Chain A
Amino acid sequence: MNTIIIAVVVLLCLAVVFGLILGFSSIKFHVAGNPIVDQIDELLPQTQCGQCGHPGCRPYAESIANGEAINKCPPGGQTTIEALANLLDVEVLELDGEHDDNPIKTVAYIREDECIGCTKCIQACPVDAILGAAKQMHTVIKDECTGCDLCLEPCPVDCIDMIPVSQTINTWKWQSPQSHEQYATQLIVTDKRAQAEVNS
């Protein structure tokens, strides 16, 4: 009986001491903010389109830090998901919902002779990329437009189009020699030869 009591008392003492240490250090090493949010926010495309269900990119970054799925950013596409997965060391997920793998970059374009100057799109634009005033024709600053299409909805006369950004000679990109067809042919080359020999 005595031994049991001693054992229990010793363990209790140990636990109390450790508890005190942990309690003290939890106060001392208290972390206020969440610096991961900034890093996540850096990776998001900043279109502020709200397609993730959050009002802007930073709120989404915050909720990712709190454990939301990383695959809700259609403008960022698979590359953003991969970057996020890399940062947070989680599984790469498929893009949520029905979206293209490679989202085509677009910019808004206002058909100016149809614009009635209601300024509704100006208020909707999250990045102030639309210029204009009441009863005046509006126009989009192409370089600042993130292609979030938030201005389409409020337009009462549907005069805004999303135009894909065309590739110019300056934005042209070398293709990876690893393109799918070539990869396929690479793998099949030997098989094909074998088959050809068999056939002949």
Chain B
Amino acid sequence: MARVFAFHGGIHPPENKTQSSKRAISLAPIPSVLHIPLQQHIGASAKPCVNVGDKVLKGQRIADAQGKMSVPVHASSSGVVSAIANHVVPHPSGMQNLCISITTDGKDQWIEHQGLADYKALSANKLVDYIRDRGIAGMGGAGFPTALKLCLGDDHIVNTLIINAAECEPYITSDDLLIRERATQIIAGIDVLQHLIKPSHIIIGIEDNKPQACKALEDAIKGCKYAIDVVSVPTKYPSGGEKQLIKLLTNVEVPHGGIPADVGIVCQNIGTVYAINRAVYFGESLISRIVTVTGRAIAKPQNFEALIGTPFDTLLEAAGQKEHVTKRLIVGGPMMGYSIDTSAVPVIKTTNCIIAASAEEFPEAEPAQACIRCGLCEQVCPAQLLPQQLHWFAKSQEYDKAQQHNLFDCIECGACSYVCPSNIPLVQYYRHAKTSIREEAEDKRKSDIARERFEAKQMREQRAIDEKAAKRKERAEQAAKAQAEKKAAAEKQAKEPATTESDSGSGDLKQLKIAAARANTKLKKAQQALKSALEKSLPGTDILENTIIELQVQAEQAQAALDLATNGSSESKTKTATPLKTKTAVTNADTSKLATVDLKSLKTTAAIARTKLKKTQAQLDVLISEGEQQSDEAQQLAQLIISLNERVQATQASYLQAKECAPVIDESEQLQANYDKALALYTKANTALQKAEEQNSPAVEKMRLSIDKLNTRLSNAEAALKSAANPASDNSANNTTPNTQE
């Protein structure tokens, strides 16, 4: 079973592991302040569940997982939460992120905890939840929430469990030491995984440069109830890469864009397995890990069991850092790690190594030369990509083509950069390209959302406009209908009495009726206005009351005129009656504003009569010019013309007469309008002033002045109106008498 396959490419950088593997794991000192970042894993960051000033115990949960792709965070030691604020975290950007700072009390007092007595009694889901609640995330480097890897859907049937103990990167020995010293506990952890996943096959992959660890594991698996293969793979970087190790051990390639579970494999880091063991058997959350502290600037390179959140200072000090020698601080290994600027950075769940390097150890990168297309990078690429092509595309920002060349399958192992004879920082190019592509995709997503929202808004606005238009149309239609109905009704009514009388009589009747109706509506409106005015206790109610009384009179008079006209029309016979009737109507109504309406109607009647006259005259002219000596017709027409002429004159006369008595009313009307306008202005100005006062606007003074002006204008208008109202009514009364007598 222990057959080892091979993966494409790979390199053999100097290992530099022996420096730190000589010493046993020692407990790191508890620092005075722990800075525990809320995001130590891939996915959503955890949400703090403690407040500043709270006392926390070791192992107490201080932040909850947010969503599925997240894990909680626990206090690494007992103490007081001194801050929940931004603090530098281990990240290539050197930026800050939210951390919970705990000032330790030195007692290192555990919260009450105990392991699961019989984890096999729990259901798989509960056990996975338990593991998630202990804050366990992948400790190999990526920090993938372990629970997600264990809780696979039904579509993944896992037959192989691979424990990754390859630890291929130079300098790092944390897994090596962990296995040497705690192999039995690791196997106990594998028990739990075996119970959860139930694979048919368990393989521990370990590089052949760790013979002691290999021996320890082989000893530990003796007497195990199920088969565990400890496979020693040839030392080659990056055999510890998940996909590379899978290829090495099973000769199966994980498909592009897929996860190992797609090919029935689950891969767990050995550190994670140990953490699962601590969690399940002891109930301890993930609050510490093994960290290698090494490099030429370290006097005693060794591995520490460090609490999560311990600043690097503490570890470096404990290992005897020679500060003057230290040129660079590197988190992770020399291949995939990154430099940090400050040693205040805390240890997190994925921190496996800190290298304090001297200048000779990690010299400044030589300036990049032009690519000579030697193709060495292609030969070492473990993902079987074309690094050179990717480099060209990344450099010229042709990201589409880079993606076509499977840029995202790059594991950023740095093998290509390592072998590049021109010292081209290839991995940096890929990282830049990757982040740029992600950023572009994010921008694209955002702009799509923006477009959607914009279009939705446009549609909404369009709909509102359409609805308004539709409503307006509907209203217009209804109004037209109502008018038509009214017309029809009026015609009907007019026709009934008009059986004996002439056409023009019915027309006048109609007008009178309309006048009466209008007077009524006006009255109603005025009443309403009075009511609202009374409610608001506005000035000028008395005037309104007067107007209403007047209007009432008008309405009554109009009604009377109508009645009179109806009676009169039945009596009168000829067309000449029309102007007379109109006159009566006018005389009846002229005290009111209705006069204007009647005036208008009179005017139109006169105009109609005039046009009729003209037309008939034209007809006559035509007949005469045609020379048709049909004298009868001509005579008839001539008669018609004469009668029409009479009618026109009569109408004109009645119009003039009516007009004479109209101006008085016009004047008072104008006054009233003036007054109304002034009132409206005044109220407007007042509201504006109020608003201005609310906002403390500087224009208040000006506004006040203008309001005063308006006020005077208003009172003037009022006085004028009052003075006009009395004589006007007298006048109209005077006018009325003779007319009615006529």
Direct contact of A and B (CB under 8 A): yes
Interfacial residues, chain A to chain B (CB-CB below 8 A): 41, 44-48, 56-57, 116, 126-129, 144, 146, 167-169, 171-178, 185-186, 189
| A177-B425 in contact (CB<8A) | yes
The minimal Cβ–Cβ distance linking B224 to chain A, given in whole angstroms, is 43
| A128-B436 in contact (CB<8A) | no
**A128-B456, A174-B431 known; A146 vs B439 contact (CB < 8 Å):** no
The minimal Cβ–Cβ distance linking B22 to chain A, given in whole angstroms, is 36
A46 to B452, CA, bound (A): 9
**A127-B454, A169-B93 known; A176 vs B432 contact (CB < 8 Å):** yes
7 A-B pairs besides A45-B443, A174-B432 with CB distance below 8 A are A168-B95, A172-B91, A173-B439, A176-B395, A176-B429, A176-B432, A186-B368
Tell me which of B89, B368, B447 contacts A45 (CB under 8 A).
B447
Residues of chain A within 8 A (CB-CB) of B431 are 174
| Centre residue among A57, A146, A167 by max chain B CB count within 10 A | A146
A110 to B436, CA, bound (A): 31
- Cβ-based interface call for B629 (8 A): no
Question: Which chain B residues (437-478) contact chain A, with CB distance < 8 Å?
Answer: 439, 443, 446-451, 453-454, 456-458
Q: What is the size category of the interface that chain B forms with chain A?
A: 20 to 34
Residues of chain A within 8 A (CB-CB) of B458 are 56
A176 to B425, CA, bound (A): 10
| Centre residue among B91, B439, B453 by max chain A CB count within 10 A | B453
Tell me which of A44, A56, A128, A169 contacts B89 (CB under 8 A).
A169
| B449-A126 in contact (CB<8A) | no
Residues of chain A within 8 A (CB-CB) of B394 are 176
| A169-B96 in contact (CB<8A) | yes
Name the CB-closest residue of B to A188: B367
| B428-A144 in contact (CB<8A) | no
What are 19 of the A-B contact pairs (CB < 8 Å)?
A45-B443, A46-B446, A48-B450, A56-B454, A56-B458, A116-B695, A126-B457, A127-B457, A128-B456, A129-B453, A144-B449, A146-B446, A169-B97, A171-B439, A173-B436, A174-B434, A176-B429, A176-B432, A177-B429
The prevalent SS among residues of A at the interface is: loop
**A46-B447, A46-B451, A57-B451 known; A173 vs B457 contact (CB < 8 Å):** no
Question: Which chain B residues (673-690) contact chain A, with CB distance < 8 Å?
Answer: none
| Centre residue among A127, A129, A174 by max chain B CB count within 10 A | A174
B89-102 interface code vs A (CB 8 A; 1 in, 0 out): 10111011100000
B574-589 interface code vs A (CB 8 A; 1 in, 0 out): 0000000000000000
| B95-A176 in contact (CB<8A) | no
A171 to B448, CA, bound (A): 19
Residues of chain B within 8 A (CB-CB) of A174 are 92, 428, 431-432, 434-435
**A174-B428, A176-B428, A177-B368 known; A48 vs B454 contact (CB < 8 Å):** yes
Residues of chain B within 8 A (CB-CB) of A176 are 394-395, 428-429, 432
Residues of chain A within 8 A (CB-CB) of B425 are 177
Name the CB-closest residue of A to B447: A46
B75-109 interface code vs A (CB 8 A; 1 in, 0 out): 00000000000000101110111000000000000
A46 to B97, CA, bound (A): 31
Residues of chain B within 8 A (CB-CB) of A129 are 453
Residues of chain A within 8 A (CB-CB) of B428 are 174-177
A181 to B458, CA, bound (A): 47
The minimal Cβ–Cβ distance linking B601 to chain A, given in whole angstroms, is 47
Name the CB-closest residue of B to A44: B447
Name the CB-closest residue of A to B366: A189
A171 to B440, CA, bound (A): 12
Residues of chain A within 8 A (CB-CB) of B434 are 174
Residues of chain A within 8 A (CB-CB) of B449 are 144
B657-687 interface code vs A (CB 8 A; 1 in, 0 out): 0000000000000000000000000000000
Tell me which of B91, B92, B368, B450 contacts A146 (CB under 8 A).
B450
Tell me which of B39, B95, B450 contacts A46 (CB under 8 A).
B450
Residues of chain A within 8 A (CB-CB) of B454 are 46, 48, 56-57, 126-127
| A175-B432 in contact (CB<8A) | yes
Name the CB-closest residue of A to B398: A86
The 9 closest A-B pairs by CB, nearest first: A46-B447, A174-B431, A172-B93, A46-B450, A127-B453, A177-B428, A177-B425, A173-B435, A46-B451
Name the CB-closest residue of B to A175: B432
Residues of chain B within 8 A (CB-CB) of A126 are 454, 457
| A173-B96 in contact (CB<8A) | no
| B432-A177 in contact (CB<8A) | yes
Residues of chain B within 8 A (CB-CB) of A185 are 367
The minimal Cβ–Cβ distance linking A56 to chain B, given in whole angstroms, is 6
A41 to B448, CA, bound (A): 10
A177 to B394, CA, bound (A): 11
Residues of chain A within 8 A (CB-CB) of B95 are 167-169, 172
Residues of chain B within 8 A (CB-CB) of A57 are 451, 454
The minimal Cβ–Cβ distance linking B520 to chain A, given in whole angstroms, is 39
B419-437 interface code vs A (CB 8 A; 1 in, 0 out): 0000001001101101110
Name the CB-closest residue of A to B37: A169
Residues of chain B within 8 A (CB-CB) of A146 are 446-447, 450
Residues of chain B within 8 A (CB-CB) of A173 are 432, 435-436, 439
Name the CB-closest residue of B to A125: B457
Name the CB-closest residue of B to A148: B450
Question: Which chain B residues (350-408) contact chain A, with CB distance < 8 Å?
Answer: 367-368, 394-395
Name the CB-closest residue of B to A83: B440
Residues of chain A within 8 A (CB-CB) of B453 are 127-129, 144
The minimal Cβ–Cβ distance linking A159 to chain B, given in whole angstroms, is 12
A56 to B449, CA, bound (A): 14
A173 to B437, CA, bound (A): 10
| B450-A178 in contact (CB<8A) | no
A168 to B695, CA, bound (A): 39
Tell me which of A46, A56, A169, A186 contacts B91 (CB under 8 A).
A169
The minimal Cβ–Cβ distance linking A137 to chain B, given in whole angstroms, is 15
**A46-B451, A186-B368 known; A178 vs B395 contact (CB < 8 Å):** yes
A157 to B735, CA, bound (A): 61
The minimal Cβ–Cβ distance linking B439 to chain A, given in whole angstroms, is 6
The minimal Cβ–Cβ distance linking B272 to chain A, given in whole angstroms, is 24
The minimal Cβ–Cβ distance linking A163 to chain B, given in whole angstroms, is 17
A172 to B39, CA, bound (A): 15
| B447-A128 in contact (CB<8A) | no
Name the CB-closest residue of B to A105: B443
Residues of chain B within 8 A (CB-CB) of A45 are 443, 447, 450
Residues of chain B within 8 A (CB-CB) of A128 are 453, 456-457
The minimal Cβ–Cβ distance linking B124 to chain A, given in whole angstroms, is 33
A41 to B97, CA, bound (A): 37
| B367-A189 in contact (CB<8A) | yes
Residues of chain A within 8 A (CB-CB) of B439 are 171, 173
Residues of chain A within 8 A (CB-CB) of B367 are 185-186, 189
A165 to B431, CA, bound (A): 22
A43 to B670, CA, bound (A): 64
Residues of chain B within 8 A (CB-CB) of A168 are 95
A128 to B451, CA, bound (A): 11
Residues of chain B within 8 A (CB-CB) of A177 are 368, 425, 428-429, 432
A73 to B31, CA, bound (A): 54
A47 to B432, CA, bound (A): 26
A128 to B434, CA, bound (A): 32
Residues of chain B within 8 A (CB-CB) of A186 are 367-368
| B92-A127 in contact (CB<8A) | no
Residues of chain B within 8 A (CB-CB) of A144 are 449-450, 453
The minimal Cβ–Cβ distance linking A4 to chain B, given in whole angstroms, is 59
A185 to B369, CA, bound (A): 11
A176 to B96, CA, bound (A): 21
Residues of chain B within 8 A (CB-CB) of A172 are 91-93, 95, 435
A172 to B331, CA, bound (A): 18
The minimal Cβ–Cβ distance linking B388 to chain A, given in whole angstroms, is 15
Name the CB-closest residue of A to B369: A186
Residues of chain B within 8 A (CB-CB) of A178 are 395, 429
A169 to B451, CA, bound (A): 27
Residues of chain A within 8 A (CB-CB) of B93 are 169, 172
The minimal Cβ–Cβ distance linking B72 to chain A, given in whole angstroms, is 19
